[in-house]
Amino acid sequence: MYWRLRIPLLLLVFGVTAGFYQKFPKMFLAYTNGLLTSALYIGLVAVIFIVLEGTGINEKKSILFGGFF
């Protein structure tokens, strides 16, 4: 059975960006308004996901469960 990498990459992007937001809050303007911080986070995730869609990385097929092998 083949798996596409769209969902695992989306979960990876959410996890990595959330980790960076927690580890380096000043780098992402975390001390601004809560609405602005949320918009920046969603925008960053959207830009990364659009880049992954554009390069075609998410269309690769994976054999093993989990999508990374």
Check residue 68 and give its pLDDT: 54
Check residue 63 and give its pLDDT: 66
Each residue of 27-52: pLDDT tens digit? 776 577 778 888 888 898 999 989 98
Higher pLDDT, 66 or 39: 39
* pTM (predicted TM-score): 0.71
Q: Which two tokens stand for residue 31?
A: 């001390």
Check residue 64 and give its pLDDT: 60
How far is 27 from 30, CA to CA, in rounded Å? 8
Check residue 46 and give its pLDDT: 92
